[in-house]
Structure 1
Amino acid sequence: MASDIQVEHRGEGRALVTIARPHRRNACDFAAWTDLKAAFETLGADPAVKLIVLTGAGGHFCAGDDVVAFSAVTDEAEKDVWRARIQACYAALQSAPKPVIAAVSGVCVGGGCSLAMCCDFRVGDATARVGVPVAKLGLVYPTIQLQRLAWLIGASNARRWVYEAALYDAAESHRVGYLDALAPGDAVEAAFAFGAGMAQAAPLSIAGSKAQLNAVLAGRLEPEREQLDAMVLRADRSEDFREAARAFAEKRRPVFRGQ
Structure 2
Amino acid sequence: MSDILVDRSREGVAVVTINRPHRRNACDFEAWTDLKAAFADLDRDPKVRLAVLTGAGGAFCAGDDIVAFSAVRDDVERAEIYRKRIQEAYAAVQQAAFPVIAAISGVCVGGGCSLAMCCDFRVGDASARVGVPVAKLGLVYPTIQLQRLAWLIGASNARRWLFEAGIYDIEESYRVGFIDALTEGDVVEAALEFGRDMSARAPLSIAGSKAQMNAILAGHVDAQRQALDALVDEADKSEDFREAAAAFAAKRTPRFLGR
Q: TM-score, normalised by structure 2?
A: 0.99
- Supply the distance in 1 between the matched residues of 2:247 and 2:10 (Cα, whole angstroms): 24
SS of 1:254 mapped into structure 2? coil
CA distance in 1, matches of 2:221, 2:153: 23
Alignment partner, residue 126 of structure 2: 126
Paired with 1:141 and 1:24, the residues of 2 have a C-alpha distance of 21
Name the counterpart of 1:86: 86
Give the letter aligned to residue 61 of structure 1. Answer: F
* Matched residue, 2:43: 44
Residue 17 of structure 1 corresponds to which residue in structure 2? 16
Q: 1:169 corresponds to which letter in structure 2?
A: D
Distance in 2 (CA, whole Å) between partners of 1:144 and 1:69 is 23
Q: Give secondary structure in 2 for the equivalent of 1:48.
A: coil
Post-superposition offset of 1:76: 1.3
Q: Report sequence identity in percent.
A: 71
CA shift, 1:41, in A, is 0.6
What count of residue pairs does the alignment treat as equivalent? 258
For 1:31, the aligned partner's letter is E
What letter matches 2:210 in structure 1?
K
* Structure 1 Cα separation of the partners of residues 172 and 9 of structure 2: 31
Equivalent residues in 2 for 1:248-259 (5 A)?
A: 248-259=248-259
Alignment partner of 1:152: what SS?
helix
- Corresponding residue of 1:143: 143
For 1:60, give the aligned amino acid. A
Deviation at residue 250 of structure 1 after TM alignment:
1.1
What are the superposed Cα offsets for residues 31-75 of structure 1, whole Å, 9 maximum, x if unpaired? Answer: 000000000011111111100000000000000000011101231
Cα distance in 2 for residues equivalent to 1:101 and 1:153:
17
The one-letter amino acid paired with 2:58 is: G
How much has 1:10 moved relative to structure 2? 3.0
2-side partners of 1:27 and 1:140: how far apart?
A: 19
Q: How does 1:218-229 map to 2 (within 5 A)?
A: 218-229=218-229
Task: Show CA shifts across 1:127-160 (max 9, x none).
Answer: 0000001011110000010011011001111011
CA distance in 2, matches of 1:11, 1:158: 36
Q: How does 1:51-62 map to 2 (within 5 A)?
A: 51-62=50-61
Q: CA RMSD in A?
A: 0.6
Distance in 1 (CA, whole Å) between partners of 2:224 and 2:76 is 33
Q: Where does residue 199 of structure 2 map in the other structure?
A: 199
1:183-240 deviation per Cα after TM superposition (whole angstroms, max 9, x unaligned):
1211100000000000000000000000000000000111101101111000000000
Give the letter aligned to residue 108 of structure 1.
C
Tell me which amino acid in the other structure corresponds to 1:256: F
Cα offset, 1:104, TM superposition: 0.3
- d(CA) in 2 for partners of 1:110, 1:10: 31
**Whole-Å Cα distance in 2 between the matches of residues 242 and 23 of structure 1?**
51
CA distance in 2, matches of 1:12, 1:252: 22
Q: Is there any run of 5+ residues in structure 2 with no aligned partner, and where?
A: none
Q: Paired residue for 1:102?
A: 102
73-82 vs 201-210, which deviates more? 73-82
Structure 1 residue runs of 4 or more that deviate by more than 4 Å after TM superposition = none
Look up the match of 1:8. 7
User: Which sections of structure 1, spanning at least 5 residues, go unmatched?
Assistant: none
